[in-house]
Amino acid sequence: MFHKEGFKIIIVTLGLVIALSILANIFVVNTTIRGGIIITLIILLLLVLQFFRNPKRNFLVHPDNVLSPVDGKVVVIEEVFEGEYFKDKRLQVSVFMSPINVHVTRYPVGGKVKYSKYHPGKYLVAWHPKSSEENERTTVVVNNENFGDVLHRQIAGAMAKRIVNYAEAGQDVNQADDSGFIKFGSRVDIFLPLDAKIKVTLNQKVKGGITVIAEK
């Protein structure tokens, strides 16, 4: 199963692979070179298919939990000052996604979307300390009955050139539903109340809609 954000790219890539394979068969006489070209094209197609996969999952939805919004590795757990929306201290948990991870972004909690804003910016590597403030990004805040306002921020990385955000202020959203998609690698930051009980550790691998990031 593939995510809708990948349909166009998959079709274009498939067309290019078929066309270039046909051309290689016609114009490349050396069988070794021709075979190498075709194998490279197939690998390219497989990588694109892998990137846009959207596997079916039994999400662990629970009102007392904050779920990981994405697949990846936990790279930050710290108390920080969040200056865009809260303008006070929050617990930040950041998940880095490599190009081989599923890149669907899911709502970590359910509730009503209070804030959704896109920010153009740079394309620093996603683990750069300033990427959360200087890179292209979207900030979404969902008001949840148990946790209050929970902010998650999609951040573009050096490879990510497009962030897709579905959240609109005023929407009622469900935990683990699609919040957006980041194309070709990045990270997502989550900002939680200081009394939230963090349930993950640094370098832990997490799955979107499955791994519990925090409890009340």
SS3 labels along the chain:
CECHHHHHHHHHHHHHHHHHHHHHHHHCCCHHHHHHHHHHHHHHHHHHHHHCECCCCCCCCCCCEEECCCCEEEEEEEEEEECCCCCEEEEEEEEEECCCCCCEEECCCCEEEEEEEEECCECCCCCCCCHHHHECEEEEEEEECCCEEEEEEEEECCCCCEEEECCCCCCEECCCCEEEEEECCEEEEEEECCCCEECCCCCCEECCCCCEEEEC
The pLDDT of residue 145 is 95
The pLDDT of residue 54 is 83
Residues of the chain with pLDDT under 70: 122-134, 158-161, 184-185
The pLDDT of residue 132 is 64
The pLDDT of residue 135 is 77
* 179 to 37, 41, 106, 171: CA distances (angstroms): 38, 32, 5, 11
Q: How far apart are CA 109 and CA 142, in angstroms?
A: 7
The pLDDT of residue 127 is 57
Cβ-contact 187, 123 below 8 angstroms: no
Catalytic residue status for 186 = yes
Cβ-contact 139, 84 below 8 angstroms: yes
Task: Name residues whose C-beta falls within 8 Å of residue 42's C-beta, 6 or more positions apart in sequence.
Answer: 17
Marked catalytic residue, from 131, 132, 179, 186? 186
The pLDDT of residue 121 is 74
The pLDDT of residue 20 is 95
Q: How far apart are CA 180 and CA 73, in angstroms?
A: 19
The dihedral formed by the CA atoms of 117, 91, 123 and 178, expressed in degrees to the nearest 10: -50
The pLDDT of residue 6 is 76
The dihedral formed by the CA atoms of 6, 152, 154 and 82, expressed in degrees to the nearest 10: 170
Q: How far apart are CA 122 and CA 99, in angstroms?
A: 19
